[in-house]
Structure 1
């Protein structure tokens, strides 16, 4: 793993190790991880064209949870990491924010499965492998958050790779993959033969998931060209992000109950926010709500 030079105000404390950490080789107690005082821009060692942002708070252990936060079409990965940094420090969470550039990942929201660009799910897996190896964090499952297009990515990633995901929080996704095997992906679960994944409801319906969307996130038409606005999607999911998130959570909950699963699904409207990550964080309390859903109150983390 290589790092771009951080700003002068950021002092690196991370020590990169070449061999596997002791915590991965023995049953000894969790060790303290090397930390970064700030957010570090990293280049993937096996693919230097792939960028991600990493924050490791001081004093956390090798069994600390990993939170992956995924940007929307504005590609504001660094901003997401920066706005979540305080909470990551408070909750003792390793923070990873991948950057899926438009030239390489034109269809990252749908995992690159439609043939437009590279596979974003595979890129994230390579990033997580490197993070675990280089800093020594041992957790196999990760927590996911994504805003807008990132919200699309994280819930589809969880459906495709349920064994890798602990819980998912979605911020204002434009549309969703419903747990309907009769509808073609990405609207439903029906895959064509070229898609080299499997979507297994018995597994992904066990993952707790939440949707958070601003109360004023109701604009569409030319004001929101990035919002999927087709007759089929409108009829199935609703006209706005507020409607679509609510309907998707209801559909996921119903599908889980049909299989005898009591999985937690949560839907919450954020006050004083439209379709803006910054406004949702500042005025809607998005960060606190996401961390509380994923990790519980901070007091639980302090007991680890």
Structure 2
């Protein structure tokens, strides 16, 4: 079957059996099969039909370890059931821009990836399959590396966001016109063809969470000094393979 199967095509009592509600299996992104995504859609709250109220959508961006366990019966499932809302969780695997690449998805733009556009493609894919989800404007949540993604996505696409929660991002992008991306926004327009719209950003509800454990550099200073020396010895190591601010 080449036609996209929509929840409007399936009788409500069969949606769970068809894996269209509850835990939705990881699916390859059509525009870039290296990337995949999964959803959790609370079965008792998802409604179909022209008069059904759409469920809000929370996009959850993973951190560097790519752990998705919070969506596998964890806290996010409880949150989705009690709110209620649906959860979309992209998976940007390591190694997209080279064998040592851990960070390329966080900066929105790398040698082979525009991660912001990949996310927008996911939303375009799920909209016709799950017309009962609100995909035009949504909420975003990310911790650590995921927080970096959410923070930068806000600068590029504030018109799509209702609210964001940024947890301990580590490397922040400042609204600084003297620093280049991803430390500042001096070259943002030339890189992305977009301008920062501060008025639209102010309309987004923003939470920044920093905890008591966020008071030291990951790996310690000695690790980063060693990494800097390693990069200096081997200029073939690109920013996508070892990204140092």
Mark yes or no: TM-score above 0.5.
Answer: yes
**Residue 267 of structure 1: aligned partner:** none
Match of 1:100 among 89, 92, 112: 92
Bigger mean CA offset, 198-207 vs 151-160: 198-207
Q: Distance in 2 between matches of 1:222 and 1:58?
A: 42
**Residue 213 of structure 2: aligned partner:** 216
5+ long unaligned stretches in structure 1 = 3-14, 23-30, 231-304
**Residue 79 of structure 2: aligned partner:** 87
| Structure 1 vs Structure 2 CA RMSD | 3.1
1:161 maps onto 2:153 in alignment: no
**Residue 75 of structure 1: aligned partner:** 66
Give the secondary structure class of the aligned counterpart of 1:209: strand
1:171 maps onto 2:171 in alignment: no
Kindly state the Cα deviation for residue 206 of structure 1 after the two structures are TM-superposed.
2.1
Give the secondary structure class of the aligned counterpart of 1:214: coil
5+ long unaligned stretches in structure 2 = 48-52, 98-102, 229-245
Q: Distance in 1 between matches of 2:33 and 2:179?
A: 38
1:16 maps onto 2:5 in alignment: yes
Q: Distance in 2 between matches of 1:139 and 1:38?
A: 18
**Residue 130 of structure 2: aligned partner:** 135
The size of the alignment, in residue pairs, is 202
Q: Distance in 1 between matches of 2:124 and 2:148?
A: 22
Give the secondary structure class of the aligned counterpart of 2:39: strand
When residues 80 and 197 of structure 1 are mapped into structure 2, their CA distance, relative to the original with a 3 A threshold, is farther
1:36 maps onto 2:18 in alignment: no
Kindly state the Cα deviation for residue 191 of structure 1 after the two structures are TM-superposed.
1.4
Q: Distance in 2 between matches of 1:161 and 1:45?
A: 21
Match of 2:184 among 180, 185, 188: 188
Q: Distance in 1 between matches of 2:56 and 2:218?
A: 40
Q: Distance in 2 between matches of 1:121 and 1:201?
A: 19
Kindly state the Cα deviation for residue 46 of structure 1 after the two structures are TM-superposed.
4.2
Q: Distance in 2 between matches of 1:199 and 1:187?
A: 14
TM-score by length of 2: 0.72
Q: Distance in 1 between matches of 2:192 and 2:135?
A: 28
**Residue 49 of structure 1: aligned partner:** 34
Q: Distance in 1 between matches of 2:150 and 2:192?
A: 18
Kindly state the Cα deviation for residue 47 of structure 1 after the two structures are TM-superposed.
3.8
**Residue 235 of structure 1: aligned partner:** none
Q: Distance in 2 between matches of 1:219 and 1:98?
A: 28
Q: Distance in 2 between matches of 1:103 and 1:133?
A: 31
- Which residues of 2 match residues 229-248 of structure 1 at below 5 A? none
1:201 maps onto 2:186 in alignment: no
Kindly state the Cα deviation for residue 101 of structure 1 after the two structures are TM-superposed.
1.4
**Residue 294 of structure 1: aligned partner:** none
Instruction: Give the conservation status (yes or no) of the 8 Å contact 1:16–1:135.
Output: no
Deviation track 1:149-197 (CA, whole Å, cap 9, x = no partner) reads 1101011101100111110001111021222333322222211524333
Instruction: Give the conservation status (yes or no) of the 8 Å contact 1:141–1:165.
Output: yes
TM-score by length of 1: 0.59
When residues 104 and 221 of structure 1 are mapped into structure 2, their CA distance, relative to the original with a 3 A threshold, is closer
